[in-house]
C-alpha cells in the first residue's frame, strides 16, 4: 500500500523521546528540499530510527530507493533491527519497506570463510576468484553456487524466508551455510526488490562497486537517498582508501613472484629482478637518510625515489613510467595464472606497477609522499597519503540527497568543509535527551599523558597506573579503561597493571578478529554486581558503536587525551587545513580528538535509565569544556566516583 497520511511520525514504531519529533521534522525537511543534512545527536538518542523511518516514508511516497552505509557490521545489524520494529508495528507496510544488508564476499562467500587466504582477498580479487569458480564444470567449481542453480525450490524457500523475517547478513549466511546455498548470490538476487540496502562504505566510494550495487538494485544515484551512519569516521576513511604504500615486505613478495612465475625483461636489457632489488635498496636508503631512532616518518620530495632508481639503473623518468606499465601487464598475467589454479588472483608485481604510476602522477596539492618505519627497520615503507577526503567524497553529490549522522560531529562546519558538501547543507545538533544528573565527567589535575612528560618520567606512568588500579579495585562496577593507543596499553600491562587489578580483566587486542572481540565483550558484560574490567583503546571497535546498557558499564576511565601523534603525516594534514581553511589546529587536531573522547564517554549512557561516570586521567581535559559541558575537576577521584554512584 502507498502512504497518504501526513503525520510525520507515521512508520515511527516507538513513543517519541525528547527531541525526536524535532529530529524527524528536520530530516523530512531535508528530504523534501533535496538539501543535504549533517545531523549530530548524542549516543543513544534514537537518531537511527528517526532517519530510517523518515527515509522509508519519503521513499515510498516519492518512489525513491535508499542506500544506508555503515562502517561496521554491528551498525548494520542495528539498522535491520529498526526496520523489523517498523514492520512489526506497521505490518501493512512490511512488503514496501523490505530492506536488506549487503556485505562483501570476504564476509558472505562461504569458501572465503573456510579459507584464511581467501578471506583476506580484496573485493576485486574475490570477484575474479568467484567468476572462475562459476565457470568451472560441475563438481570442480563452487558447491554453494552449483546447488543454488540446481535447487530452485530451496532458493524460493530462502527468499520467502528473507521477505518474512528481514534477516541480518549474519543470519542469511548461517541459513545458507546449512542449506549449501551461496549467501552472496542470494543477497544479490534480493537487491532489486529492496526499498533500502544497508552496505559498507566501500560500496559507495569505490566506483566499480557503486555501479554494481546500483545496477543490481535497478536504480540510479539521482533516484536514491544516501544515508551515512557514524559519519565522523568518513573523512579519515576516505583518506585511507585514497592512500597507498609500498613496503619492503611487498617488494620481497614481488621477488618471490618473480622467482616463481619468471624473470622477464621489462626495459631493454633490464630484467625484472634487477629493478626489484634496486627499489628495495632505495627504500632502505631513504629510511637511513630521513629517519632516526626517534622519528617514525618524514616527508619526501617527489624526486627522491625516482632519482635514486634513475642513478642506480641509468634510466629516465619516462623509462620508469614504461616499467610501471610493464609491471601492471605482467601482474595481470600472474593473476590469470593464479585464478586458473583456483587461488586468490593476487599479484604484488601488479600492485607495485599501480603504486609507481600513482607516485609519478601524484597531485602535490592534495597528497604527500612519506617514508614510514614503525618496525625498527624490519619493514619500512614509502607512502602516498591523501590530505583531502573531498576527492573521495565526490560520489555523494550524485545522489538525490544525503543525510550524515553521528553522535560526535562537532564542529559541524569542519565536517561539511572537509567533504566539500554544498554551501546550503543543513547543520543541526541536538542536545542529549537524557537527564544530566545521570552522567558525570571528572578529570584530575595530577597527571598527564603529554608525550614529553610520559616518555621522560617513570614516576608519571606509575602514578597513572596507581590511579587505574585504585579505581578498579575500589568499586564492584563494570569498568572500561580506554588508552590512547595499543602501544601505551601494552606499556601499562608490561608494568604489572593486570596483576595489580584484583578483578577479571579482558583485553582488546589490535589483531583480534571480530568474533573473538564479541566473545570477550559478552563475557565482560556478565560482570554485573562484581565488576569486570576491560582494557581497550580510544577510537577502537569497542569505543565506537558498541552498547553497554545499564549495569553492563558504569565507569569509564580515559587514560589521557587522545591527541594524534605529532608525526610528519599529521603535521602535513594540519598545514593543509591551515592553507585551505585557516583552521589547521581545529580541523586536524582538536576536532578529531574531541570526537574520540566523546565516543568513549558515550558508551556509558544509552537510554534515560542509564547512569555512569567518566574519569579522564589528564590535566589537559579542561581544553575540551566546549564539548563537555558537565566536565568537573576532582581532587579526590575515589570520593568523586563514590559520591556519584551513591547518588550524590
pLDDT of 509 above 80 = yes
Please name the helix (run of DSSP H) or strand (run of DSSP E) that holds residue 599, with its range, or none.
helix 591-601
**Hey, is 28 helix, strand or coil?**
helix
The candidate with the shortest Cα–Cα distance to 616, out of 592, 640, 588, is 640
pLDDT of 6 above 60 = no
Q: In percent, how much of the chain has pLDDT > 90?
A: 80
pLDDT tens for 293-320 read 778 999 999 899 999 999 999 999 999 9
Indicate the pLDDT class of residue 445, thresholds 50, 70 and 90: very high
pLDDT for 648 equals: 58
What distances in angstroms separate CA 491 from CA 288, 483, 484, 494, 495, one per listed residue?
27, 11, 12, 5, 6
- The bridge status of strand 367-372 relative to strand 381-386 is antiparallel
pLDDT of 457 above 90 = no
What distances in angstroms separate CA 593 from CA 65, 561, 565, 630, 641, one per listed residue?
35, 7, 11, 18, 24
pLDDT for 4 equals: 38
Domains of the chain: 104-192 (1.10.30.20), 241-389 (1.10.275.40), 436-645 (3.40.50.300)
- What cell numbers appear for 93 in the block? 507496510
Mean pLDDT value across residues 562-576: 94
pLDDT of 545 above 70 = no
pLDDT tens for 348-385 read 999 999 999 999 999 999 999 999 999 989 999 999 99
pLDDT for 167 equals: 96
pLDDT of 225 above 60 = yes
pLDDT tens for 173-185 read 999 999 999 999 9
Going by C-beta distance under 8 Å and a sequence separation of 6 or more, which residues neighbour residue 263?
Answer: 271, 272, 273
**Hey, is 618 helix, strand or coil?**
coil
Mean pLDDT value across residues 254-260: 97
Mean pLDDT value across residues 423-446: 93
Q: Are 223 and 59 in contact (CB under 8 A)?
A: no
User: In angstroms, rounded to a whole number, what is the distance separating the alpha carbons of residues 568 and 571?
Assistant: 5
User: In angstroms, rounded to a whole number, what is the distance separating the alpha carbons of residues 372 and 569?
Assistant: 9
User: In angstroms, rounded to a whole number, what is the distance separating the alpha carbons of residues 611 and 131?
Assistant: 52
Indicate the pLDDT class of residue 515, thresholds 50, 70 and 90: confident
Q: What integer best gives the mean pLDDT of the chain?
A: 93
pLDDT tens for 86-95 read 999 999 999 9
Continuous H helices in 166-233: 169-179, 183-191, 202-205, 207-217
pLDDT tens for 18-49 read 899 999 999 999 999 999 999 999 877 889 99
Mean pLDDT value across residues 248-269: 96
pLDDT tens for 146-171 read 999 999 999 999 999 999 999 999 99
Amino acid at each position: 500500500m502507498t502512504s497518504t497520511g501526513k503525520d510525520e511520525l507515521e512508520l515511527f514504531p516507538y513513543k517519541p523521546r525528547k527531541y525526536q519529533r524535532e529530529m524527524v521534522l528536520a530530516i523530512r525537511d531535508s528530504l523534501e528540499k533535496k538539501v543535504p543534512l549533517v545531523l549530530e545527536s548524542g549516543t543513544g538518542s534514537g537518531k537511527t530510527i528517526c532517519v530510517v523511518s523518515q527515509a522509508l516514508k519519503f521513499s515510498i511516497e516519492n518512489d525513491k530507493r535508499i542506500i544506508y552505509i555503515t562502517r561496521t557490521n554491528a551498525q548494520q545489524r542495528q539498522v535491520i533491527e529498526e526496520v523489523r520494529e517498523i514492520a512489526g508495528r506497521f505490518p501493512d507496510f512490511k512488503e514496501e519497506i523490505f530492506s536488506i544488508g549487503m556485505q562483501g564476499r570476504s564476509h558472505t562467500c562461504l569458501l572465503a570463510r573456510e579459507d584464511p587466504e581467501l578471506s583476506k582477498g580484496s573485493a576485486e580479487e574475490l570477484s575474479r576468484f568467484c567468476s572462475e569458480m562459476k565457470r568451472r564444470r560441475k563438481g570442480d567449481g563452487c558447491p554453494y553456487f552449483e546447488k543454488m542453480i540446481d535447487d530452485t525450490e530451496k532458493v524460493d524457500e530462502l527468499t520467502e524466508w528473507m521477505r518474512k523475517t528481514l534477516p541480518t547478513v549474519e543470519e542469511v549466511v548461517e541459513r545458507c551455510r546449512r542449506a549449501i546455498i551461496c549467501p552472496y548470490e542470494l543477497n544479490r538476487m534480493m537487491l532489486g526488490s529492496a526499498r533500502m540496502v544497508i552496505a559498507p562504505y566501500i560500496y559507495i566510494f569505490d566506483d566499480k562497486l557503486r555501479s554494481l550495487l546500483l545496477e543490481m538494485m535497478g536504480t540510479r544515484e539521482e533516484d536514491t537517498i544516501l544515508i551515512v551512519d557514524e559519519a565522523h569516521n568518513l573523512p579519515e576513511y576516505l583518506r585511507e582508501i585514497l592512500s597507498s604504500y609500498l613496503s619492503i615486505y611487498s617488494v620481497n613478495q614481488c621477488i618471490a613472484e618473480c622467482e616463481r612465475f619468471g624473470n622477464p625483461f621489462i626495459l631493454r636489457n633490464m630484467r625484472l629482478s634487477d629493478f626489484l632489488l634496486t627499489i628495495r635498496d632505495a627504500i632502505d636508503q631513504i629510511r637511513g637518510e630521513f629517519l632516526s631512532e626517534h622519528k617514525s616518518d618524514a616527508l619526501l620530495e617527489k624526486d627522491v625515489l625516482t632519482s635514486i632508481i634513475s642513478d642506480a639503473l641509468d634510466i629516465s623518468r619516462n623509462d620508469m613510467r614504461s616499467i610501471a606499465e610493464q609491471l601492471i601487464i605482467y601482474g595481470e598475467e600472474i593473476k590469470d595464472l593464479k585464478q586458473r589454479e583456483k587461488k586468490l588472483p593476487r599479484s604484488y608485481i601488479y600492485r607495485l606497477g599501480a603504486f609507481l604510476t600513482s607516485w609519478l602522477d601524484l597531485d602535490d596539492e592534495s597528497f604527500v609522499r612519506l617514508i614510514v618505519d614503525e618496525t625498527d627497520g624490519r619493514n619500512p615503507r614509502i607512502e602516498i597519503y591523501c590530505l583531502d577526503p573531498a576527492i573521495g567524497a565526490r560520489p555523494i553529490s550524485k545522489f538525490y540527497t544525503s543525510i550524515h549522522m553521528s553522535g560526535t560531529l562537532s564542529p559541524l562546519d569542519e565536517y561539511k568543509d572537509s567533504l566539500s558538501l554544498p554551501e546550503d547543507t543543513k547543520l543541526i545538533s541536538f542536545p542529549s535527551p537524557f537527564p544530566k544528573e545521570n552522567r558525570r565527567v571528572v578529570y584530575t589535575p595530577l597527571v598527564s599523558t603529554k608525550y614529553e612528560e610520559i616518555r621522560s618520567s617513570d614516576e608519571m606512568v606509575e602514578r597513572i597506573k596507581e590511579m587505574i588500579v585504585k579505581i578498579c579495585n575500589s568499586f564492584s562496577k563494570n569498568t572500561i579503561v580506554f588508552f590512547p593507543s595499543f602501544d601505551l596499553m601494552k606499556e601499562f600491562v608490561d608494568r604489572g597493571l593486570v596483576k595489580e587489578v584484583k578483578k577479571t580483566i579482558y583485553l582488546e587486542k589490535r589483531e583480534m578478529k571480530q568474533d573473538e572481540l564479541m566473545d570477550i565483550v559478552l563475557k565482560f558484560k556478565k560482570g554485573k554486581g562484581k565488576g569486570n574490567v576491560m582494557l581497550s583503546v580510544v577510537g577502537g571497535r569497542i569505543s565506537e558503536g558498541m552498547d553497554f546498557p545499564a549495569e553492563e558499564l558504569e565507569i569509564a576511565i580515559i587514560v589521557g587525551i587522545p591527541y594524534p601523534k605529532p608525526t610528519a603525516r599529521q603535521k602535513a594534514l594540519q598545514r593543509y587545513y591551515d592553507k585551505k581553511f585557516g583552521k589547521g589546529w581545529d580541523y586536524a587536531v582538536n576536532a578529531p580528538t574531541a570526537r574520540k573522547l566523546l565516543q568513549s564517554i558515550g558508551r556509558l549512557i544509552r537510554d534515560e535509565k542509564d547512569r555512569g561516570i567518566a574519569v579522564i586521567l589528564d590535566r589537559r581535559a579542561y581544553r575540551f569544556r566546549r564539548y563537555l559541558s558537565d566536565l568537573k575537576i576532582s581532587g579526590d577521584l575515589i570520593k568523586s566516583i563514590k559520591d556519584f554512584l551513591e547518588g550524590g
